Amino acid sequence: MPEIKVLPVELRNKIAAGEVIERPASVVKELIENSIDAGSTDIRVEVLRGGKGLVRVTDNGTGMDREDALFCLHPHATSKLRNEEDLFHITTMGFRGEALPSIASVSKMKIVTGLKDSPSGRLIEVQGGEVTETRDFPAHGTSVEVRDLFFNTPARKKFLKSDGTELYHIIDSVTKEALSHEDIAFRLLTENQETMNLSRASGPRERITQVYGLDFVEGLSEIHAESEGTTMTAFVTKGENYRNSKTHQYIFINRRPVKDQTVSHALYQAYEGILPQARHPVFFLFIDMNPKKIDFNVHPAKREVRFENKDEMHRFVAGRIREALRKERTEYVTSFREIPDRPGFERPFGHNIRQMEPSAPSRYIPPMQPDRHFSEGSALPYQASLPFIYLGDTFIAMAGKGGLTLLDHHAAHERILYEHFLKGIAPASHHLLFPKQVMLSHKEYRIILENTDLLDEMGIEVDDFGHNTLLIRSLPEALKESDMRGILSDVAASLIEGVRPDSSLRETIAARISCHASVRGKEILSSEEVQRLLSDLEKTEHPDQCPHGRPTRLFFSLDDLKKMFKRK
Ligand code: ADP
Ligand code: MG
């Protein structure tokens, strides 16, 4: 019995229509979503030349009968929506009956489909929307093959990017669908090579682990919340596991990947006061809610949604995540307090004073030529006997050179490392006795492998270990304790996003790496370390600014102070 019907005109007009097919990745998304709606438990995606040559999605779902196999190509034909009321509680991924006809009209398509319990199936071939062949063909489930996308619309074809870029978008599409449908097995083959193989998982945690690896998941807090029929399972950055860009931020509502300002704003709000400047949390939010309270019929590609009550959603997400993070931080601080004599941290100001031992030899020799900041009394060097104090856990105040210097030790260290990485004089690279294994998402893995030379120049030697895993063979000393997965993931993000016109790729990568490598806020330096930091900073080309343009140090001369105290 055929299932597909053409939507009545009035209903068609109520649907957010528009061009759903922008690029090969949109084809992948639409075909996968059809397979999901058909109840498949196994979906295979094959692509050639970034999907420009071929996209083929094969599933083990219900399949279509003889008539539907042809009818599904009719514009506005769908088995998922019958009347207007259905539009207000959509439970399927598709509902507009737009995808197959749109794709068929701009490609060479072949559909092979058959009902599970039927002896035969159907094969249909379409070119630029015209059916060129229909015949019986044995099949259970459905396979849709799309070749030469936009072959008849050169203007749109021109907008496609390189095969590599198109492939990243495809990997992104598959990853998003896979993350929100952990009960389905996904396989991705690119150029006939298996690049992703995810077996059916028991829940989102297992699926995230399959995609990103165990150590990535261990850096995330798992939060569950429920309110008036809306449930949220969230995996969000825990501790200091932040990123320099908005990578790995996913929102799924009723298993649909969406972009939504309300929800992401709420998430950032939950991190207010915790999140360091210019850093970003990783998050995977899986929200399930009554379909009547949300409208997916807003954006042609269904990427955006409209909530019946936006404020309520914002409160729910911000409130519950903040609460969970606070609880976790309280536990962290409590455990921290239990560590005896960790200097400085969380004690009232004044107790943090640390004297440099008077006997310590002064290794810091300031430049004799006056510079912008140290113009006054430059003959007066910092002396080993001069005290420095920690203000909070990042700033160091010290007297000398005829005034008061405030140093941001994190920013200073970042500047030093940045210039080292940039000049390829990364502090001697150490061969690791036990190479570190780092698993990345497939997209990150590929782009890192294409750029190993660049990393090599910065003292990071990586090898392919297969299955989205890299082997780190050597590292600069400064990175020995660093979170390598975070670093590689940030580097991959810069390579994918491209660089700003005012900086080179090398500069961008060096800045990203040095940010991870530099001393973290909570570490308190010894007097020797402070002195080494000052002297190394002095040797850099731009000692006054970190690579992100923040100041590393501020100087107040005696004159400045006099003016501030109105003595001058
Ligand atoms: P929509 O998904 O919005 O209904 P599509 O154009 O994507 O519109 O698909 C049209 C119809 O074709 C679907 O409603 C469904 O009945 C049928 N169909 C498409 N793909 C498959 C598939 N993989 N398995 C079974 N049926 C499918
Ligand atoms: Mg569809």
Pocket test for ligand 1, best of 21, 26, 34, 45 (most atoms within 8 A of CB): 34
Ligand 1 centroid–CA 318 distance in Å is 37
Residue of the nearest CA to atom 20 in ligand 1? 34
CB of residue 62 inside a 6 A radius of ligand 1: yes
- Return the pLDDT at 479: 82
Q: Looking at the CA of 35, which ligand is closest?
A: 1
Pick from 367, 385, 39, 11: nearest CA to 181: 39
Q: Is 185 in the pocket of ligand 1 (CB under 6 A)?
A: no
pLDDT for residue 338: 42
Tell me the backbone φ, ψ of residue 186, rounded to 5 degrees. Answer: -125, 140
d(CA 376, ligand 1 centre) in Å: 76
Q: Which ligand is nearest to the CA of 77?
A: 1
CB of 61 closer than 6 A to ligand 1?
A: yes
Task: Please report, in tens digits, the pLDDT of each residue of the chain (568 residues total).
Answer: 678 888 776 666 565 544 678 999 999 999 999 999 999 999 999 999 999 999 999 999 999 999 999 999 998 888 888 788 887 778 888 888 889 999 999 999 999 999 988 888 999 999 999 999 999 999 999 999 999 999 998 988 999 999 989 999 999 999 999 999 999 999 999 999 998 999 999 999 999 999 988 888 988 999 999 999 999 999 999 877 888 889 899 999 999 999 999 999 999 999 887 788 788 999 999 999 999 999 988 887 778 899 999 999 999 999 999 999 888 766 544 443 343 333 433 333 333 333 333 333 333 333 333 333 333 333 334 444 446 788 877 888 887 777 788 888 888 888 888 888 877 665 567 788 788 889 999 989 999 999 998 888 888 899 998 888 999 998 887 787 788 888 899 899 888 877 666 667 888 888 888 887 765 544 677 777 788 888 888 888 888 888 877 888 888 888 888 888 888 7
Q: What are phi and psi of 261, to 5 degrees?
A: -60, -40
Would you say the CB of residue 64 lies under 6 angstroms from ligand 1? yes
d(CA 425, CA 418): 10
Contact 556, 403 (CB under 8 A): yes
List Cα–Cα distances, 5 to 67, 75, 79, 211, 536, in angstroms. 11, 10, 6, 38, 73
CA nearest to 79, candidates 147, 5, 167: 5
Distances (CA, A) of 128 to 34, 75, 78, 150: 20, 14, 20, 9
Spell out the alpha helix ranges (H) of 254-393. Answer: 261-270, 310-337
Give the pLDDT score at 501: 63
d(C-alpha 88, C-alpha 97), whole Å: 16
pLDDT at 382: 42
* Ligand 1 atom with the shortest distance to the CA of 57: 23
Ligand 1 and 145: CB distance under 6 A: no
Q: From the CA of 122, which ligand is nearest?
A: 1
Residue 355: what pLDDT? Answer: 30
Residue 94 near ligand 1, beta carbon < 6 Å: yes
Question: Residue 482: its pLDDT value, please?
Answer: 81
Q: Does any ligand 1 atom lie closer than 6 A to the CB of residue 38? A: yes
Q: Which amino acid is at 120?
A: S
User: What are residue 226's DSSP bridge partners?
Assistant: 231
- Specify the amino acid at residue 210: Q
Strands annotated E in 409-468: 429-439, 461-464
Contact indicator for 264, 281 with CB cutoff of 8 Å: no
pLDDT at residue number 328: 77
Q: For residue 331, which phi and psi values (nearest 5 degrees)?
A: -60, -40
Q: Following DSSP, what letter does each residue of 44-88 receive, concatenated? A: EEEEEGGGTSEEEEEE-S----HHHHHHTTSTTEESS--SGGGGG
> Residue 178 C-alpha to ligand 2 middle, in angstroms?
17
Question: Looking only at Cα atoms, what is the longest distance across the chain?
Answer: 98
Q: Six-digit token pair at 204?
A: 């989102």
pTM greater than 0.75 (yes/no): no
Q: Is residue 442 a contact partner of residue 187, using CB atoms and an 8 Å limit? A: no
Quote the pLDDT of residue 197.
94
Atom of ligand 1 nearest to the CA of 100: 6
Nearest to 247, CA basis, from 206, 212, 299:
212
Cα–Cα distance, 392 to 353 (Å, whole number): 11
Q: How far apart are CA 248 and CA 283, in angstroms?
A: 6
Question: Quick one: which atom of ligand 1 is closest to the CA of 97?
Answer: 8
